[in-house]
Amino acid sequence: MSSQQERNTKSSASESKRPADSHATEDATEAPKTSLMKQNLTVARHYIMLGLVPALSICALVIAVFAVTENQSGEEQLSRTKLKIDSLNLSLSATKSELEKLKVASAQTNGLQEEVNKKQDDRVTKIIQNVTPLQVKLKISPTLEEQLRQAVTVSAVAPAAVSSVPAASAVATTATKQPLPQVKVMKEAIDKYNKNN
């Protein structure tokens, strides 16, 4: 029995050794495979790192070139904008100078017009002063001075009435009126006065 027990113990021992041996052989075969994979991954990682740096630098270079190109086009656009602003400033200053010239010319024209109006007023005043004594001598009533005063008061009182009268009726009334003998005499007196002066 002892031999049989020995065999049983040997067989049980061998069976127990087999799984341990199979795990050991599997572990032994897996250990070189994992270490080989680790080495391959390390080498691949090393080459990836070596390839990644130039790829990143090329991307950075492309971005830098793009930025410089955009910057140059921005500078060109800025210079064009500055030129436009300068031309607008020049045209604005030219317009301002023309406006100042027009203001000066307008002031001069207004001054000349006022002088002409004063001269005409003085002349009318002299005519009235010279015609009125003639009318008094000729016994023409109302005198030119009185008629002008009446015209001023009537024109001040009735501008609304004049605007309400239709133009056709105003033309008809003036067409039907005939010059008065007094008006003829005044015109003759004014003509004589103008010939004398």
**Segment 8-55, tens digit of pLDDT:** 555 454 444 444 445 555 555 667 778 888 888 888 888 887 878 788
The reported pLDDT for the residue numbered 110 is 92
Q: What percent of the chain has pLDDT over 90?
A: 17
Tell me, what amino acid is at 131?
V
DSSP state of 50: H
Neighbours of 182 (CB within 10 A): 16
Give the global pTM.
Answer: 0.36
Q: How far is CA 116 from CA 12, 64, 110, 177, 196, in A?
A: 147, 76, 10, 32, 21
105 vs 190: which has the higher pLDDT: 105
Query: Is pLDDT of 162 > 60?
Result: no
Name the residue ranges covered by the structural domains of the chain. Answer: 107-196
